[in-house]
Amino acid sequence: MRTLTAILLALAALFTAPAALAGEVRLKDLGRFQGWRDNPLVGYGIVTGLSGTGDSARNEVTRQALKNALGRLGMTITTDQVQSRNVAVVMVTATLPPSANVGDRIDVTVTSVGDARSLVGGTLLMTPLLGPDQASYAIAQGSLVVSGYRFDSDQNLRQKNFPTVGVLPGGATVERAVEANLQTDPSGVTFVLREADFTTAELVAVSINSSLGGGASVLSAGRIRIATAGRSGPLNSLLAQIENLTVSPDSLARIVVNERSGTIVAGGAVHISDVVIAQGDIKVSVSIDNTASQPGIYGGYVRDASGLIVTNTRLDVDEDRNAVMHFPNATVADLAQGLARARVPTRTMIDILQAMKAAGALHAEIIVQ
């Protein structure tokens, strides 16, 4: 009984607790502190174990790379002795996080640079990954995971996705510790928004000042200066407190249109002005009926008589009576629902949105992909 009472009290506290406002986002999801950044890594290596789908013998880069790899293992061969199609030269890329310790594992992407048909079943040999300073920060090696295939025989081809690209989850080991240089000075730190916006920057500064009692000022649409001088406690605790503050960021009115797939993505609050849409066509259909008329002779058979083909043509005109629709002070969501009820195809909706933008009735930016 006491357990049931405790559960009911916990549920009551859960439902009566003040919920966060809709649309609020943590600052750590809106941006970063200046100096805290990832680092790209790149290298080139060899994938072996392919079932005849590797680079062809005419690929000089592959032959030279395999010769060098075998030479480091004590074998002496010439490039003319390399004729295998079970090997492919690849580029290896990875992203080093802002803070990484020796022994950490990071994901790796492998892409073919030769004429290999598929990397399925291949194994990447030990490949150093270099940073922008040409220093080696990680070493990648392991079996590839390829989400595709390619099979061809007698000019018949079957392919799924891109079999010349593979990944190694956790396939690289960090060999050099790194720590991002957080740009700090005696006066404070700078918070950088991922998408510069004056309104959002002002909201961030107001939230920080409300929590810390002041010290934040807007430098530009994408940068907020936070004063740290005179504050007690470690800097890490202060930064953790700041990045967990929440604001309701302002957003631009945008509509993303993918004409290839016929996809429309728009915010529900994107408003349109009072507009009348006339959408519909006059459909004309022509149907032809061909009938055969055979001569009927009473009492015998006429040698020269033949049948007659009769053609009847019917013309129908169908006009859409629901072609005119009125949307007074609605949103894009209302427009999409109304057009969907009228059974307007998605690609026609795209044309309507573009025409509304040209007419000045749509107050949003249309991004066509």
Q: Per residue in 347-362, pLDDT tens?
A: 777 787 788 778 777 7
* Per-residue confidence (pLDDT) for residue 17, from 0 to 100: 38
CA dihedral angle for residue 231, residue 232, residue 238, residue 242, rounded to 10 degrees: -40
Q: Per residue in 73-94, pLDDT tens?
A: 887 777 777 777 889 999 999 9
Q: Name which of 215, 306, 205, 293 is nearest 249 in CA terms.
A: 205
* Per-residue confidence (pLDDT) for residue 252, from 0 to 100: 75
Q: Where does the pLDDT of residue 9 fall: very low under 50, low under 70, confident under 90, or very high at 90 and above?
A: very low
Q: Where does the pLDDT of residue 8 fall: very low under 50, low under 70, confident under 90, or very high at 90 and above?
A: very low
Domain extent, residue 225, equals 188-247
- Answer yes or no: is 14 within a domain: no
Return the amino acid letter for 242. Answer: I
* Residues 52 and 108 both lie in one domain: yes
Q: Name which of 70, 21, 86 is nearest 249 in CA terms.
A: 21
- Answer yes or no: is 10 within a domain: no
Mean pLDDT of 279-287: 52
Q: Do the beta carbons of residue 183 and residue 36 sit within 8 Å?
A: no
* Residues 258 and 242 both lie in one domain: no
* Per-residue confidence (pLDDT) for residue 47, from 0 to 100: 93
Vertex 169 angle, CA 166 and 175, to 5°: 110
| Domain final residue, candidates 155, 178, 201 | 178
CA distance 292 to 305: 14
Average pLDDT along the chain: 77
* Per-residue confidence (pLDDT) for residue 110, from 0 to 100: 94
* Per-residue confidence (pLDDT) for residue 51, from 0 to 100: 85
Q: Where does the pLDDT of residue 16 fall: very low under 50, low under 70, confident under 90, or very high at 90 and above?
A: very low
Q: Name which of 74, 81, 72, 61 is nearest 125 in CA terms.
A: 72
* Residues 213 and 320 both lie in one domain: no
DSSP 188-221: EEEEEESS--HHHHHHHHHHHHHHHTS-EEEEET
* Residues 194 and 174 both lie in one domain: no
* Residues 123 and 198 both lie in one domain: no
* Per-residue confidence (pLDDT) for residue 361, from 0 to 100: 76
* Residues 149 and 216 both lie in one domain: no
Q: Collect all residues with Cβ–Cβ distance below 8 Å to 307 and sequence separation of at least 6.
A: 292, 293, 294, 295
- For the chain, how many structural domains are there in total? 3
* Per-residue confidence (pLDDT) for residue 92, from 0 to 100: 95
Q: Do the beta carbons of residue 35 and residue 180 sit within 8 Å?
A: yes
| Domain final residue, candidates 212, 229, 247 | 247
* Residues 100 and 43 both lie in one domain: yes
* Per-residue confidence (pLDDT) for residue 300, from 0 to 100: 55
* Residues 199 and 230 both lie in one domain: yes
Identify the DSSP state of 27: G
- In Å, how far from its chain's centre is CA 362? 26
| Domain final residue, candidates 178, 202, 227 | 178
* Residues 141 and 256 both lie in one domain: no
**For 137, what's the count of Cα atoms within 13 Å in the CB-facing half-sphere?**
26
Report whether pLDDT(13) > 90: no
- Low-confidence winner among 73-87, 90-104, 231-245 (lowest mean pLDDT): 73-87
* Residues 266 and 323 both lie in one domain: yes
